[in-house]
Structure 1
Amino acid sequence: LELAASARKLGATVTVLEAQPRILMRGVPAEIAEIIHKAHQAEGVKVLTGQGITAIADDGTQVRITLADRQDIVADLAVIGIGAVPVTALAAEAGLAIDNGIAVDENLCTADPDVFAAGDCCSFPLAVYGGRRVRLEAWRNAQEQGALAAKNMLGANEAHAAVPWFWSDQYGLTLQIAGLSDEGRSTVRRDLYDGAFILFHLAEDGRLVAASGIGPGNAVARDIRLAEMLIAKRATPAPEALGSQSVKLKSLLAA
């Protein structure tokens, strides 16, 4: 989608094909995904969801994509996003545990005490989610884990405690998400300004487990950062406080 937005800004005619029923299903709430979908449509991007592909033919001058409904899409260029697969062959040959990547503990240590792994290639337990094992593909995670692995190689013995976070900029809109939204069982909305808003995701016990925000520029950045800190503290703020513009998130953090 970021590539589609950039291509459209450069004047290209763009069609996005998505096999899932909607865009951004893996980690973005439907309410926010719909805003991004409409932003692409408003910019002239054709977004086709729920589309299976039966054939792709490239004759050197154009690409012809045949959809499951027999519709043909013809383009000068096709960019295919199929996800990422962690490279674990060397780790497996060395006898290390593999679990959706190279399995490490909270200190980023593998099954071998002399071997550490960090970044996109490793899966690790998140204490804030009860030890749920995840593998993250985001630059900040790789940066933080690289530094922590180096410290632990030197004997620091520090646990990885960062809250997952990512962002995306498209057409002047910024999407930011802290935490894992699929851990939530209820949602509270806080409206900000210029159409910006944040969805706070709460677990069954009332604990804040994620926050998803969208708005122009940096409209949601400060509140998402505060939400990230609340998630790390395993805070259980009152839903009415989260949804009220008159209650500052910083005051909830202090409480």
Structure 2
Amino acid sequence: MLGETVLTRTFPGFGSDQYDQTLQILGLCPEREVPVIRDLGARRQILFYLSRRRTPRGRVRIREPGSVARGIRFTEIMISRKLSPRAEALADPAINMKALLG
């Protein structure tokens, strides 16, 4: 801004409320890739899209409107730090997302 180059660590994102569902997208989520699905029950899921190096590069969260949206910041941190949590750990809702940050 104003002639200076400033690097930021933001990720593309999108959110939308559609009747009885809320959709939140963060990062890159190629449609041809199979995501790791974290099923949170009660019509809530988080879909993680991993790079070839198995690091998260995108996330989609599907939930009911009004439910608390957690985990978006943890995903941003995983992407920016290029962390490689095991797919099984990402899929397991019993594992706290914060624990995956190392």
SS at match of 1:189: strand
Tell whether 2:79 aligns with 1:231. Answer: yes
2:63 maps to what in 1? 215
2:35 maps to what in 1? 187
CA shift, 1:186, in A, is: 4.0
CA 1:233–1:206: 2 relative to 1, 3 Å: same
SS at match of 2:26: strand
Aligned-partner residue type, residue 233 of structure 1: R
1:204 maps to what in 2? 52
Could you tell me the percent identity over the aligned residues?
Answer: 35
CA shift, 1:194, in A, is: 1.4
Contact 1:176 1:221 (C-alpha < 8 Å) held by counterparts: no
Number of residues of Structure 1 aligned to a counterpart in Structure 2: 102
SS at match of 1:221: coil
CA shift, 1:199, in A, is: 0.7
CA 1:225–1:247: 2 relative to 1, 3 Å: same
Tell whether 2:20 aligns with 1:165. Answer: no
Scaled by the length of structure 1, the TM-score of the pair is: 0.37
Structure with higher helix content: 1
Equivalent-residue separation in structure 1 for 2:22 and 2:75 (angstroms): 16
Equivalent-residue separation in structure 2 for 1:231 and 1:188 (angstroms): 15
Equivalent-residue separation in structure 2 for 1:212 and 1:220 (angstroms): 15
Scaled by the length of structure 2, the TM-score of the pair is: 0.85
Structure 2: unaligned runs, 5 residues or longer: none
Equivalent-residue separation in structure 1 for 2:68 and 2:49 (angstroms): 15
Structure 1: unaligned runs, 5 residues or longer: 1-148
CA shift, 1:161, in A, is: 2.0
Equivalent-residue separation in structure 1 for 2:68 and 2:76 (angstroms): 12
Tell whether 2:87 aligns with 1:246. Answer: no
CA 1:214–1:192: 2 relative to 1, 3 Å: same
Structure with higher strand content: 2
Give the alignment's Cα RMSD to 1 decimal.
2.1
1:26 maps to what in 2? none
CA 1:171–1:178: 2 relative to 1, 3 Å: same
Cα deviations by residue, 1:23-67 (Å, 9 ceiling, x for unpaired): xxxxxxxxxxxxxxxxxxxxxxxxxxxxxxxxxxxxxxxxxxxxx
Aligned-partner residue type, residue 213 of structure 1: R
Higher RCO (C-alpha under 8 Å, 6+ residues apart): 2
Equivalent-residue separation in structure 2 for 1:154 and 1:225 (angstroms): 30
Cα deviations by residue, 1:97-130 (Å, 9 ceiling, x for unpaired): xxxxxxxxxxxxxxxxxxxxxxxxxxxxxxxxxx
